C-alpha cells in the first residue's frame, strides 16, 4: 500500500445554516484516480474546493502532501495552489484575450518563470501543437478543455482536481479528454474527479459517493 497523499479527516463545512459537508473522512494514495460522485448539492465541489485551497473547512482536517490545507495562511495557500494543485473546471475558465499558449504560460508565471517552449510542449502533449496561438474563441469546447488540461499539468502538480471536466463536452470530445486523463493516470498522476456519470466513475480506481454532504460509500472498481 502506497502512502496517503490526501487525508480527509472528519471534515465538515457549513455555509450559513446549510451543512455542505458532514464529517467526511477518507484517504487517497499517490497515483490513485478517485471519482467523487453524488447528486447535485451533495458537497462534491465543496470537497474539491477545500482540497484545492479555495475554501476552508469549518471543522476537521484536510492534509495534502503533508500540509494541513485548512490552517495555511493566505500567502502559503497561494503557493500551495500554484505548486501542488492542477485545477480543471467544467467551464474551462480560459482567459479570453490570451492565446492557448499564453493561457498555459499564465500558470507557469504564477508558479515561477514562464517558458513558452515548455508551454507549447504541454499543448502538443494534449494534441494542440497546431493551435498554440489561437484564442479560446477560435477553439472548440474540447480543445478549450485540453488547453485547461495542459495548463493544469504544466507545473507538475501533486494532485489534479477536475470538477466535471467533461460536463460541457460532446461525446467525441469527452472521449478525447478521458483518454488524456487515463494516460495521466497511467503515468502516475493522482486525480480526484467530480462526475455525475457512472461510466466515468467506473474508470477510476475508487468511487467516493456523497449524499447531503455525507460520505455514503467508497467503492473500489474492479479492473
Q: How many Å separate Cα 129 from the centre of its chain?
A: 23
| Residue 45 near another protein by CB under 8 A | yes
C-beta closer to another protein: residue 29 or 54: 54
Angstrom CA distances, 71 to 31, 77, 86, 198, stand at: 25, 9, 20, 34
Q: Could you say which residues in the range 84-103 bind another protein, by CB under 8 A? A: 87, 89, 91, 93, 95-99, 101-102
Among 44, 81, 158, 185, binds another protein (CB under 8 A): 81
Give the Cα separation of 69 and 51 in Å (integer). 7
17 binds another protein (CB under 8 A): no
* Residue 105 C-beta: closest distance to another protein, Å: 6
What part of residues 160-219 is at the interface with another protein (CB under 8 A)?
none
Burial class (CB in 10 A: 0-12, 13-18, 19+), 109: middle
Nearest to 158 by CA among 51, 49, 74: 51
Which grid cell is 65? 502532501
Q: Note whether 120 binds another protein by CB under 8 A.
A: yes
Cβ-based nearer residue to another protein, 2 or 95: 95
Q: Of 211, 40, 62, 184, nearest to 54 (Cα)?
A: 62
| Residues 144-163 contacting another protein, CB under 8 A | 151
Distant-in-sequence, close-in-space partners of 175: CB < 8 Å, separation ≥ 6: none
Q: State yes or no: residue 140 binds another protein (CB under 8 A).
A: no
Q: For another protein, which is the closer residue by CB, 187 or 223?
A: 187
Site residues, another protein (CB under 8 A) = 45, 49, 52, 54-55, 74-75, 78-79, 81-83, 87, 89, 91, 93, 95-99, 101-102, 105-111, 114, 116-117, 120-121, 123-125, 129-130, 132-133, 135, 151
Amino acid at each position: 500500500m502506497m502512502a496517503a497523499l490526501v487525508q480527509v479527516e472528519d471534515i465538515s463545512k457549513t455555509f450559513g445554516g446549510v451543512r455542505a459537508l458532514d464529517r467526511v473522512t477518507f484517504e487517497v494514495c499517490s497515483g490513485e484516480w478517485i471519482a467523487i460522485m453524488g447528486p447535485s448539492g451533495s458537497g462534491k465541489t465543496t470537497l474539491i474546493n477545500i482540497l484545492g485551497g479555495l475554501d476552508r473547512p469549518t471543522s476537521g482536517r484536510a492534509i495534502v502532501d503533508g500540509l494541513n490545507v485548512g490552517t495555511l495562511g493566505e500567502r502559503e495557500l497561494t503557493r500551495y495552489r500554484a505548486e501542488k494543485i492542477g485545477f480543471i473546471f467544467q467551464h474551462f475558465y480560459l482567459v479570453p484575450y490570451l492565446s492557448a499558449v499564453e493561457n498555459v504560460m499564465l500558470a507557469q508565471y504564477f508558479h515561477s518563470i514562464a517558458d513558452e517552449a515548455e508551454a507549447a510542449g504541454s499543448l502538443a502533449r494534449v494534441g494542440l501543437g497546431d493551435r498554440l496561438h489561437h484564442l479560446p474563441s477560435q477553439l472548440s469546447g474540447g480543445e478549450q478543455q485540453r488547453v485547461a488540461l495542459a495548463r493544469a499539468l504544466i507545473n507538475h502538480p501533486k494532485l489534479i482536481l477536475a470538477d466535471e471536466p467533461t460536463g460541457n463536452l460532446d461525446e467525441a470530445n469527452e472521449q478525447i479528454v478521458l483518454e488524456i486523463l487515463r494516460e495521466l493516470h497511467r503515468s502516475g498522476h493522482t486525480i480526484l474527479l467530480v462526475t455525475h456519470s457512472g461510466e466515468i466513475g467506473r474508470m477510476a480506481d475508487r468511487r467516493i459517493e456523497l449524499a447531503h454532504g455525507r460520505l455514503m460509500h467508497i467503492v473500489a472498481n474492479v479492473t
